[in-house]
Amino acid sequence: MSDRTHRERSVHAPELDGAVAWLNTARPLRMADLRGHLVVLDFWTYCCINCMHVLPVLRDLEERHKNDPLVVIGVHSGKFTGEKDPERVAEAIARFGVTHPVVVDSEMRIWRAYAVRSWPTLVVVRPDGTIAAIAPGEPDPDVLEQFVVKELLQARKEGTLGPGPLGLTRAQEEPTSTLAFPGKVVVARDGRMIVSDSGHHRVVLLAPDGRCLDVAGSGTRGRVDGSFEDASFDDPQGLALSDDESTLFVADARAHVVRKLDLGHRTVSTFAGTGELGGKFPRGRVPARETPLRSPWDLALDEQNDTLYVAMAGSHQVFQVSLSTRLVGLLAGTGAESIDDGPLVEATFSQPSGLALSRDRRALYVADAETSAVRVIDLGTREVKTLVGEGLFEFGDVDGPTPLARLQHCMGICLTPNGVVVADTYNHKLRLLDLTAGEVRTIWRGHGDTMLREPTGVAFDPRDESLVVADTNHHRLLRVSLTGDRAVPVVPTGLAMPSTRGPESTPLEREWFTAQVEPTSAGHGLGPGRAVLHLELQAPEGREIAAESPLAVSLEVSCHPDLLRLSGPGSHQRSASGGQAEHIELAVEVAELSAAALEAQLIASIDYVSCDKGTRTCTPEKAWFRIPVRLVKAHGTHNLRFQLLLPA
């Protein structure tokens, strides 16, 4: 699917043998079961940030081809010891919203059979059972879509494609607790706790006794600013509270933005990021709202020095944003995934997932998850130093002197009078890094109902010198004494489950469509021969399309291009007549069908200029529409009308 893609037409896909378990499916799948279907195997491991970036791409792919013979199967070949337990993999796929089948390949047998070398890797298997492509790395969504459409079309021509979807029975349980996979937590001076309720896509404010004080976010996954009730988040993680405790910054990880919450006026706005998935950050300083971010995971705030620090897990770097100028720049990390110390511009990180700023604001501590390391950025000397950790594959569960100590995918970190406390995520422990003694020791793992399960966040409460832990996979907060002699669950009261659990409020990884539209004459389909599609562009209330401005419409047949063809060019340009509506006619041809009816899909891209009727200010706009067109074998129409409401 790119220059790295390796194709072998004659190689048959190996069997999916050696699995420890199958999840999200009622039965194991054999290659014979998958004949007639285009199969996308996603080799992943749930610690891997790049693998997380692939999941929404596959989700969008599945949605676009839900009526096609396409099957996505996740092959979970875990890197860390802690990732090989099927129960923990099941928790991960519930957290990430994975609905396709997942085979747990803990012994790496399927990995070796397919000669996979890195996470993530996609393998595409044709309906005849041969391998079409092996593509390591994050796929380009456009290239993947084009490749899938091409393979489906080719298989249909060759007669190897099945009639429709496989029809798998999928069971996925959602957490029923009032918190779901809480990610990070901060504690205010008066003991109030603020937690990123990541699995419910919201931020929750609790009183010291656990009473719910407020909730930001509707519970619908998305990226919408506005009031606390209307706003939406996508897997919010890191939190940073202002000195006067009136403002909260949130690392909205899978929305790829940093949000700003006004706790008094109860509003949410976007502080940094565009919502698009960014890449490695170059040197220089650029406007934060114009800069794509890449999975921001944690935050540290230094108002005295006008700086918000951002752990950019997806690019293996640490960013800094000026609070006054709203310019973002690189603090540390080349973007290479490794563990190199030295000057900020030469150092490397591996999925930094936790930040903690020292009280004198001279040191920024980093939980570097993929190297199971604790790093420190000296903001005075501008150097990076590793305190615990050795490399990408050096991990374990060992207390003792820092050169010998081992952690396992640590994701949370905070500072206490005793030293640095680390949420040692895959070891299910709290560890203390004693900076004076130069050693690591376990504070808490617990027993019975106080045991931890993949904690990812921890905060210090100086009022009673306790630690508030985001006990992520137990869907709760746990208060642990700093001495490690007791622990008490924090029980939220007055906190309801999100009332909105419906469709996502905005597309996430990429804004594929402004909307999906249906014909205004419901039930009609296009019959064989020439036909005309009538697109009625409708401006929203209070706006209009600028007269004489450029108007461009690009049309693409994304499903069944062999049966629905454009009679002319796919792009149409003209000057807009202006006003509330524009009418566009597009000529198409429908081939003879062998089936009684099926559905083709069109993607319409529209460029136009929108004007506010009151202020007369005009701005160029772009909208995408997904247009399903029903094709019928007989008794069809040759005219279909669609009303496309342009976004406000």
Asked if residue 281 has pLDDT above 90, the reply is: no
Q: What mean pLDDT is predicted for residues 593-622?
A: 78
Name every residue whose Cβ is closer than 8 Å to that of residue 73 and which is 6 or more positions away in sequence. Answer: 16, 29, 39, 40, 41, 42, 100, 101, 102, 103
Q: Cis check for the bond before 352: say yes or no (omega within 30 of 0).
A: no
- Structure confidence by residue, pLDDT tens digits, 106-137: 999 999 999 999 999 999 999 999 999 999 99
Q: Could you tell me if 306 and 428 lie in one domain?
A: yes
What count of other Cβ atoms lies within 10 Å of the Cβ of residue 128?
16
- Structure confidence by residue, pLDDT tens digits, 525-560: 888 999 888 888 999 888 999 888 888 887 777 666
Instruction: Give the CA-trace dihedral at 334, 337, 340, 346, to 10 degrees.
Output: -10
CA distance linking residue 267 with residue 264, whole number of Å: 8
DSSP-based three-state secondary structure for 245:
coil
Kindly provide the b/e burial profile for residues 35-45, where b requires at least 16 CB atoms within 10 angstroms of the residue's own CB. bbbbbbbbbbb
Reported as type and span, the H/E element at residue 262 is strand 257-262
CA distance linking residue 8 with residue 486, whole number of Å: 59
The sheet carrying 202-206 orders its strands as: 185-187, 193-197, 202-206, 212-216
Closest to 608 in 3D by CA, of 540, 557, 556, 520 = 540
**Paired sense of beta strands 267-272 and 257-262, if any:** antiparallel
Q: Could you tell me if 394 and 481 lie in one domain?
A: yes
In the structure encoding, which two tokens stand for residue 252, read together?
A: 């909205």
Asked if residue 514 has pLDDT above 60, the reply is: no
Q: Could you tell me if 444 and 298 lie in one domain?
A: yes
Reported as type and span, the H/E element at residue 148 is helix 141-158
Identify the pLDDT of residue 522: 57
Asked if residue 507 has pLDDT above 60, the reply is: no
Per the CB < 8 A criterion, the answer to whether 311 and 356 are in contact is no
What count of other Cβ atoms lies within 10 Å of the Cβ of residue 2?
13
The single-letter DSSP state of residue 254 is G
Asked if residue 596 has pLDDT above 80, the reply is: no
CA-to-CA separations, 147 to 119, 139, 220, 448, 648, in angstroms, rounded:
20, 11, 31, 51, 34
Per the CB < 8 A criterion, the answer to whether 455 and 472 are in contact is yes
Give the dihedral sign, CA 422/423/427/428.
positive
Confidence of residue 170 (pLDDT cuts 50, 70, 90): low
CB hemisphere CA count around 297 (13 angstroms): 28
Q: Could you tell me if 71 and 116 lie in one domain?
A: yes
In the structure encoding, which two tokens stand for residue 233, read together?
A: 């988040």
Asked if residue 173 has pLDDT above 80, the reply is: no
Q: Burial, 34: exposed, middle or buried (Cβ in 10 Å; 0-12, 13-18, 19+)?
A: buried
Q: Could you tell me if 461 and 555 lie in one domain?
A: no
Q: Would 366 be classed as within a structural domain?
A: yes
Q: Could you tell me if 145 and 203 lie in one domain?
A: no
In the structure encoding, which two tokens stand for residue 538, read together?
A: 């409708």
Q: Would 501 be classed as within a structural domain?
A: no
Q: What mean pLDDT is predicted for residues 36-50?
A: 96
Single-letter code of the amino acid located at 492: P
Single-letter code of the amino acid located at 28: P
Asked if residue 392 has pLDDT above 80, the reply is: yes
Q: Could you tell me if 57 and 202 lie in one domain?
A: no
Q: What mean pLDDT is predicted for residues 460-481?
A: 97
Range scoring the smallest mean pLDDT among 6-15, 87-96, 132-141, 372-381: 6-15
The domain total for the chain is 3
- Structure confidence by residue, pLDDT tens digits, 224-264: 999 999 999 999 999 999 999 999 999 999 999 999 999 99
Q: Could you tell me if 484 and 589 lie in one domain?
A: no
Identify the pLDDT of residue 7: 42
Q: Would 600 be classed as within a structural domain?
A: yes
**Packing angle, helices 49-64 and 141-158, rounded to 10:** 40
- Structure confidence by residue, pLDDT tens digits, 183-231: 999 999 999 999 999 999 999 999 999 999 999 999 999 999 999 999 9
Per the CB < 8 A criterion, the answer to whether 620 and 552 are in contact is no
pTM of this prediction exceeds 0.95: no
DSSP-based three-state secondary structure for 614:
coil
Closest to 85 in 3D by CA, of 426, 432, 479 = 426
Q: Could you tell me if 288 and 337 lie in one domain?
A: yes
Q: Would 10 be classed as within a structural domain?
A: no
CA distance linking residue 367 with residue 250, whole number of Å: 18
Identify the pLDDT of residue 592: 85
Q: Would 169 be classed as within a structural domain?
A: no
Q: Could you tell me if 524 and 486 lie in one domain?
A: no
CA distance linking residue 226 with residue 177, whole number of Å: 26
Q: Would 536 be classed as within a structural domain?
A: yes
- Structure confidence by residue, pLDDT tens digits, 49-74: 999 999 999 999 999 999 899 999 99
Q: What mean pLDDT is predicted for residues 284-309?
A: 96
CA distance linking residue 411 with residue 312, whole number of Å: 13
Q: Would 175 be classed as within a structural domain?
A: no
Q: What mean pLDDT is predicted for residues 88-112?
A: 95
Closest to 134 in 3D by CA, of 11, 229, 234 = 11
CA distance linking residue 517 with residue 641, whole number of Å: 10
Identify the pLDDT of residue 276: 93
Q: Would 164 be classed as within a structural domain?
A: no
Which of these three, 455, 490, 525, is where a domain ends?
A: 490
Q: What is the mean pLDDT of the chain?
A: 89
Q: What mean pLDDT is predicted for residues 493-508?
A: 59
The domain spanning residue 605 has which CATH number?
A: 2.60.40
**Which domain range does residue 523 map to?**
515-645
- pLDDT, greater one: 1 or 216: 216
Q: Find the largest Cα–Cα distance for the chain.
A: 84
CA distance linking residue 366 with residue 355, whole number of Å: 5
CA-to-CA separations, 607 to 356, 588, 646, in angstroms, rounded:
45, 21, 11
Q: Could you tell me if 364 and 460 lie in one domain?
A: yes
- % residues pLDDT > 70 (the chain): 92
Q: What mean pLDDT is predicted for residues 307-325?
A: 97
Q: Which position has the token pair 């198409």?
A: 588
Asked if residue 504 has pLDDT above 60, the reply is: no
The domain spanning residue 466 has which CATH number?
A: 2.120.10.30
CA distance linking residue 539 with residue 315, whole number of Å: 39
Q: Could you tell me if 436 and 582 lie in one domain?
A: no
Identify the pLDDT of residue 515: 59
CA distance linking residue 249 with residue 271, whole number of Å: 8
Beta bridge partners of residue 301, listed in sequence order: 308
